[in-house]
Structure 1
């Protein structure tokens, strides 16, 4: 039984026995013209899935100290969608077959008296089922997109939120003065995706969104704006105190422990709120102005290490200001092409540092692992930390090694804040 001549399947053979793995690979290549990739363990398989388009995984049940069931469960938590899996094993007991099917393994072939026809039939059946499921997912995504809902959280998505913001901005100043917006980020999403997988990350994001929706009032609009960021349009009744109270309720209610498949993760928010009357109070307002202002508040909350900040609120979740700025501290001005950055006087004044920071301009190197080096400019320096600028915007690890100057000593640093290309770090070693 040969596959369609016009279609070449790509199959990964996963077996810790190199002789048997090569035998099966040769069988599929010579007899059926299948493109075969080989993996000896789970790590090899993950690397192949990340780098190649795979139609089917032929997974051995017995992988030395591991087994195919455990590998399947871990892969399912790591990848939102897996290629179909056919299990290959010498254990033909009924309970093993039943468990395989319950785990979502698409088919099962015994190694004993292996026949190429049976193997190809199982692969073709699994691939056909996988493509049918893929079409069903695509149709579901299309319907969700047409409805304006976010496919992960099932809350209103970006299109609905943009329309609502545009409507809000178009209101006359007196009418829009009764509203506010809050941007809310789930702090731990990137760490969860990295350590537990994208599937668990989506589950956490959905649970976080559901909890946020429960905390909003009937008069508010809540949805997923982008990535880990949610947006709430709030009926604030023109009062900074009302908005401050709403953001505090969000901060308290969204700080909790979530259990997912016997794994506990601690979740917490970062929130930036702004009254619409605070943005262009007497003039023309566009939706982007509201988002920039809320992002500004969100960045201030991140820099200050507090759960939330509200623009225009006397408290706003911020600490009390400290002593006036020392005369030897230089405050940098925000560039006009980066409107979402917090104002310089809120980010880099000496009253928010343990030590005064002096303007410098030195070359630096950020060391990531053993082979990755990122050039940076050291723009400010103090006994406790430094201000850095990198050439491109990308997420950085929380801690890394920093070399200042051409022959400077290596220092271990931790990121305190990152706004665009700029980073603030503290020395920890």
Structure 2
């Protein structure tokens, strides 16, 4: 098995080879779907009691009530105060940068008035209550707390409820500290599909939310998929992806490690490099071979790079950008001398990192833009998580008496053509001269 796949756009079988490389089976595991369906039904039926039963079974945490599993905000403040100075400073710096970036996304209510006095517009309001799922145990990511909580608070969400499992009763202090910095209002030490069900349907203790955001395992993803419609969700994320367009001006070692940065997530992650310079592709390949054994997650990297990674030789940067739009990656690095020159050619990417110093890992933690990004080619039609995901738009229509004469006649004609006579009558009643 090769260390990493090599493709060339000049090859006759390139299109089929790329299609195979990009293929990802997103079909659901029937056993997971069946288990999640039963858990959600149980939580919807029994509420607190069901959540407590599953928490005892899966997380080995016994509690007499769901109230006993609520983590006081004072514990989050204490976790923040107890962090080593360097970790606290890093977390606070990241939180401030994420907040400052997302404040630019806040939408405003607007209106305009027509000459006849009719006012039209759009009112922006935040969601009332949002649920944030945060993985627990080893897969605990405080950066994800910041990326999900801060945009919700910038949007003006008055109540943000976080759920996070604490296997064996172990709490992650960085996660709790991030919750304090992110402005989370309530935290419950529960997880899995049962926590998603509690957020979606509400229980005797935990109120139902309007939207659920945040990453989770296959059971959490299946649960979010099932409750969508009852509540909103952010997205169903697939394996992580990085696509790099290079012109050979960046040290090969830098890009080798950039490929590692996403491939190390899991065996299904994807890392691809596009470049018109074959000698440079060889240099990156050599750097991968030299540096990979030093990586703590080398076993995962080997599988990911061999199965879904690739170094692709293109005819030029313009062709590389065309391939970017075909692949529509989660993370895109434009590691070229003049990224601004090719940026107009890019239409589909979750986040675009421009220039040799803009490593994807900075975006994951502290650059400011959100790291919750569309995967599996969904960047063709969706966007990074942002303030706009926690705001709603309501249309404003205030028709003047004069405006009703013009609009009413239009509405009568169209409603009558559709056979909706009560609609026509409703508009006609407001006409000065119904005839």
Say yes or no: TM over 0.5: no
Structure with greater proportional strand content: 1
TM-score (norm 1): 0.23
TM-score (norm 2): 0.23
Larger RCO, structures 1/2 (Cα 8 Å, 6+ apart): 2
